[in-house]
A and B are shown apart, each in its own frame.
Chain A
Amino acid sequence: MTDVSMTVNGREMKGSVEDRTLLVQFLRDNLGLTGTHVGCDTSQCGACVVHVDGKAVKSCTMLAVQASGASVTTIEGIANGVELHPVQAAFREHHGLQCGFCTPGMIMTAVDMINRHGSSLDEKTVREELDGNICRCTGYHNIVKAILSAAGAAQTPAMAAE
């Protein structure tokens, strides 16, 4: 067992874990932050995306001990109290979720994407950068719309026509 400590959503958190414990297991099982999900075993689906020191990371691909000392933000940590983060609000406004299981990872990926590209995001870039996030419900149509809207990016003609 190894002691780990990290800042999670602005609070200092400590725990003792087996070395093989993944960051996602530490968040879910030790800290009870169950908003971060596990949808596959191969780092393909992105349901587990969190931010580690400001960058989007698949928390099933990182050991908890590797994150020791880091600052971690999960889906539970991005709203300002009851005020939704703009990307959360955009997912609701554009019906960018159905069953909700992939949604936390989608939102954390989208926040990172917007942080890097800002309003220069376009549909092609969004679709390419969603390569690591799988959704089975929405066909991505409304997820793409939500991300572009939250980025303040121009809508494509096909979207504007709706």
Chain B
Amino acid sequence: MGVEGIGAKVLRKEDRRFITGRGRYVDDMSVPGMKYAAFVRSPHAHARITGIDKSAAEAMPGVIGVLDGKQLQGDGIGNLICGWAVSSKDGTPMKMGAYPALASEVVRYVGQPLAVVVAETRAQARDAADALAVEYEELPVVTKAVDALKDGAPQLHPEAPGNLIFDWELGDRSATDAAFAKAAHVTKIHIHNNRLVPNPMEPRAALGHYDMAEDHYTCWTTSQNPHVARLVMSAFYNVAPEHKLRVIAPDVGGGFGSKIYIYPEEIVCLWASKRTGVPVKWTSDRTEAFLTDAHGRDHETEVELALDADNKILGLKVETTANLGAYMSLFSSSVPTYLYATLLSGQYDIPAIHANVKAVYTNTVPVDAYRGAGRPEATFVVERTMETAARELGISPAELRRKNFIRSFPHQTPVIMAYDAGDFEACLNAGMEAADVAGFEGRRAEAKSRGKLRGLGMSCYIEACGIAPSKAVGSLGAGVGLWESAEVRVNPVGTIEILTGSHSHGQGHETTFSQLVAERFGLPVDNVQVIHGDTDKVQFGMGTYGSRSGAVGMSAIVKALDKVEAKAKKIAAHVLEADEGDIVIENGEVKVAGTDKKLGWHEVCLGAYTAHNLPDGMEPGLKEGAFYDPTNFTFPAGCYICEVEVDPETGTTEVVQFVAADDFGRVINPMIVEGQVHGGIAQGIGQALLEGTHYDDSGQLITASYMDYAMPRAWDLPMFKVSTTETLCPGNPLGMKGCGEAGAIGSPPAVINAITDAIGNNDLTMPATPEKVWKALNAVE
């Protein structure tokens, strides 16, 4: 592999700018003449706008313009879209309510923007936004999905009677009913999957610049997928034609899904720049982020698991109500459907599965993909149910899982997915050994002597990454293809630029992607520059989410490197008068195998550009591009084991040990992969113990700051014990599966299984706050 090739722990190239304060995030950008935007947001969860009086705001110091939704509509800016079409089981299309970038008639959640103020300074813009006089007629409010489905509930959108967006199903209901009819044991539980706020540390920001002379727009934005942002802003929102719009996502401070979507603010900044004639920058504050970044999860689910007398699973029934908030965000429809129900087979051989999902409008922030996106919800359903079943049957949770593991591949589940490779028992064994499960009862007894209740819980997750084969997702309703692009530009001196359609917002692509070149040509990673996030530099790409940058993005780079290598070998063979098949490239040299004839890599590259001695008919230059469309999803899987101690006096839970044993296929940089797992586990423990998103009955988000929403802090978490096993993914050239979301997918059920084990009461919802744990322990309602 070489010291910097595949499998090497290479320190990150991008770190130097971040540790010296020279990162370049959107809010760090300024352009000459730039002014500041502040948004006027609804203070009501549901209200009709009956009047807007701009006179006071327009008279405030420094104000350049006050723009509202009617003007936006008048200029032909289109409504926001949902890019994944899901149909109900009766065949009717999903019911999408109109979602304008600035509301002009009705507001449907607290924080929804309805006007924008552009002013000389941030403070002046905010002062003037506060001075805008808006009259509202308040309407009744509903925040919980189950309530929104009831007769007489407040109605959000005329397009969606009963607030029902779709009533969708997957699997075979009659086969599942037949399986349950044969069951020796049925386990039933109710699952609440709590709503989460993604909270990347960098708040969203947008800088829109309309250049009147060129009739051209530039948008700097905190995006995980700037190319898709350009396409959508152009094709659907009519901001500008694609060739007149440049989108740049520079350093982006975390995303976790929340920066996939194209939000009203970046559209409005571009539009407002043209309207006011100045570049316009907006930066979210943290409370705006809580009020407007797409939230995650928020499912209520009834689960039933049927087992035979030998404890083999016969069938699974799942009924889920998914809260999608007040509007359909860009990929919201796919999360509780094709990213959720398709994973309900877990790691187990389940002959019959049926899932029914109702997606519902409420007066809350739109809900979309958040780290894991559907797969954490599926894993929580399956793994809480498995643990519960084992306890009811009086057998060890590990044994119930072992008994039902899928053991041969490929394996077709009853819910679309065809698992291509895996060794679930290897992960379970590695996890149990690392967690010293055999010694747990001794530790439990020792904890008891200190007055603490110790519990152990596990979770064997599987997820689907490498999203995804374009034809497959197209058949399931996706509005886009999910391939990735790459271009490899070899300079005349032999250094290399990799242009990728993936986007790094913490994942370390500049390092990991460079390692492919080190592996291929034996060049130092310092000789490679990775370029991403600018639609003027990279032609097109699909961006980073769904743990796809490795399995899809790097596969595209491999394809382009194949072409570069082939051409370099042709040139070298011609110059060295050797057979092309005898040329090998290693350690920065291009050699004729078995001889001492060789060229430096840089000599071959220079030769490609001088073009003095190329094979007849060969074009000069050394630059190749590739598009890679995956052949299947990839299936990372693993075993997570959590050990907790509960203080029975206070209900406080301490995570005393957390083990992760993951199978990610081929690992390129183990240091970066471990870091991804650490971060994912922290978010999963956050969901399980800390993070609760609460609306009051009037639809006010009462957890809209770090004073109220419990982010995981250093003292909430232990050191993590992480390791990997490896079965290669057969579907892509590197055998990679993806690692970005696993931690957040696998960990919540492990934590809750551990606490419920400790307290001896299985009835516990997330987040398992001390109050809830104490009440569950003492069986107090």
List the A residue with the shortest CB-CB distance to B200. Answer: A136
- Residues from chain A with Cβ under 8 Å of B254 in the complex: 98-99, 101, 136-137
* Interface-lining segment among A51-59, A63-71, A73-81, A114-122: A73-81
Please determine whether A144 and B15 come into contact, CB atoms closer than 8 angstroms.
no
13 contacts between A and B (CB under 8 A): A35-B22, A40-B286, A75-B21, A84-B20, A91-B19, A100-B253, A101-B200, A104-B19, A104-B21, A134-B711, A137-B254, A137-B506, A138-B678
Please determine whether A141 and B711 come into contact, CB atoms closer than 8 angstroms.
no
B690 to chain A, nearest CB (A): 12
Please determine whether B713 and A130 come into contact, CB atoms closer than 8 angstroms.
yes
In the docked arrangement, what's the CA distance between A87 and B715, Å? 20
Q: A42-B286, A99-B252, A101-B201 are in contact. Are A131 and B23 (CB under 8 A)?
A: no
* A72: interface (CB < 8 Å): no
In the docked arrangement, what's the CA distance between A141 and B719, Å? 6
In the docked arrangement, what's the CA distance between A76 and B680, Å? 30
* B435: interface (CB < 8 Å): no
* A149: interface (CB < 8 Å): no
* B251: interface (CB < 8 Å): yes
Please determine whether A92 and B675 come into contact, CB atoms closer than 8 angstroms.
no
* A33: interface (CB < 8 Å): yes
**Could you tell me which residues of chain B, from 339 to 357, have a CB within 8 Å of some CB in chain A?**
none
A160 to chain B, nearest CB (A): 10
List the A residue with the shortest CB-CB distance to B709. Answer: A44
**Could you tell me which residues of chain B, from 108 to 154, have a CB within 8 Å of some CB in chain A?**
122-123
In the docked arrangement, what's the CA distance between A39 and B251, Å? 15
- Residues from chain B with Cβ under 8 Å of A44 in the complex: 705-707, 711
Please determine whether A35 and B23 come into contact, CB atoms closer than 8 angstroms.
yes
Contact with B along A25-68 (1 / 0, CB 8 A): 10010000111111111101101000000000000000000000
In the docked arrangement, what's the CA distance between A133 and B716, Å? 13
A29 to chain B, nearest CB (A): 8
Contact with B along A78-107 (1 / 0, CB 8 A): 010000100010011101011111111001
A155 to chain B, nearest CB (A): 10
B18 to chain A, nearest CB (A): 3
- Residues from chain B with Cβ under 8 Å of A140 in the complex: 678, 682, 713-714, 717
B610 to chain A, nearest CB (A): 35
Q: A42-B286, A126-B714 are in contact. Are A92 and B16 (CB under 8 A)?
A: yes
- Residues from chain A with Cβ under 8 Å of B286 in the complex: 39-42, 45
Query: Main secondary structure on chain A at its contact with chain B?
Result: loop
In the docked arrangement, what's the CA distance between A114 and B30, Å? 35
Tell me which of A39, A97, A98, A130 contacts B714 (CB under 8 A): A130
Closest 5 CB pairs of A and B: A35-B21, A100-B18, A101-B253, A99-B506, A139-B682
- Chain A residues with CB under 8 Å of chain B are 18, 20, 25, 28, 33-42, 44-45, 47, 74-76, 79, 84, 88, 91-93, 95, 97-104, 107, 123, 126-128, 130-131, 133-144, 156, 158-159
Q: A95-B675, A98-B506 are in contact. Are A34 and B21 (CB under 8 A)?
A: yes
Please determine whether B200 and A92 come into contact, CB atoms closer than 8 angstroms.
no
Other A-B pairs, 18, CB within 8 Å; known A99-B253, A130-B714:
A35-B21, A36-B21, A91-B15, A95-B675, A98-B254, A100-B15, A100-B23, A101-B23, A101-B202, A104-B21, A131-B714, A134-B713, A135-B201, A136-B199, A139-B720, A140-B682, A141-B719, A158-B721
In the docked arrangement, what's the CA distance between A144 and B11, Å? 17
Tell me which of B18, B123, B507, B706 contacts A42 (CB under 8 A): B706
Please determine whether B202 and A99 come into contact, CB atoms closer than 8 angstroms.
yes
* B505: interface (CB < 8 Å): yes
Most buried by B among A91, A139, A143, A144: A139
In the docked arrangement, what's the CA distance between A28 and B26, Å? 13
Please determine whether A144 and B201 come into contact, CB atoms closer than 8 angstroms.
no
Please determine whether B715 and A128 come into contact, CB atoms closer than 8 angstroms.
yes
B287 to chain A, nearest CB (A): 6
In the docked arrangement, what's the CA distance between A141 and B11, Å? 17
Most buried by A among B27, B508, B714: B714
* B683: interface (CB < 8 Å): yes
**Could you tell me which residues of chain B, from 247 to 284, have a CB within 8 Å of some CB in chain A?**
251-254, 256, 283
In the docked arrangement, what's the CA distance between A159 and B15, Å? 22
Please determine whether B201 and A95 come into contact, CB atoms closer than 8 angstroms.
no
A102 to chain B, nearest CB (A): 5
In the docked arrangement, what's the CA distance between A136 and B19, Å? 17
Q: A45-B706, A76-B21 are in contact. Are A20 and B682 (CB under 8 A)?
A: no
In the docked arrangement, what's the CA distance between A35 and B18, Å? 8
Please determine whether B256 and A136 come into contact, CB atoms closer than 8 angstroms.
yes
